[in-house]
Amino acid sequence: MNQSSFKFHVPVKVRYNDTDAQGHVYFGQYYSFFDEGLEAYLAEIGYDYPAMFADETDLIFAESHCTYKSTAKWPEMLNVHTRIAHVGRRSLRFEFELWAQNDNRLVATGYIAAVTADRQTFKPQPVPEKLRQAVISYEGELTSESG
């Protein structure tokens, strides 16, 4: 069992086409793994993209970061641990940990900061209360800073 304190994770398989000429996962591919975790996490907390779109809301990714801890290779299975660690007035911060299933090795950590926006105009708008409550219900009370 890995050391992650995150409540949620989803497995992803490293596909051959995820790798580069050196035989390990191409660095940009980690963001696709993060995105898979993000989408599955939203479904898990009960506020998936269809619910978001029904609220006329979308997410605009404003910032992202990945720290590579160890190499992953095809055909490894990874667990993408995901959480929302911060809910601001108009923004969210998703955090990620990627762990290798076979040896519980930490592969990467990272985050995506997203701004909630009107789905038609893409102008920033407040985080929908349904989303805020879904996060609090799943994760517990979070710190809320301006943003």
Reply yes or no on whether the pLDDT at 147 is more than 70: no
| pLDDT at residue 4 in the model | 86
Measured in whole angstroms, how far is the alpha carbon of residue 28 from the centre of its chain?
A: 15
Could you read off the pLDDT of 56-74 as tens digits, one per residue? 999 999 999 999 999 999 9
Torsions phi, psi for 60 (to 5 deg): -110, 120
- Other C-beta atoms lying within 10 Å of the C-beta of residue 9: 22
In three-state secondary structure terms, 130 is helix
| pLDDT at residue 2 in the model | 61
Could you read off the pLDDT of 107-125 as tens digits, one per residue? 999 999 999 999 999 999 9
pTM recorded for the entire structure: 0.93
CATH number at 8-139:
3.10.129.10
Residue ranges per structural domain of the chain: 8-139
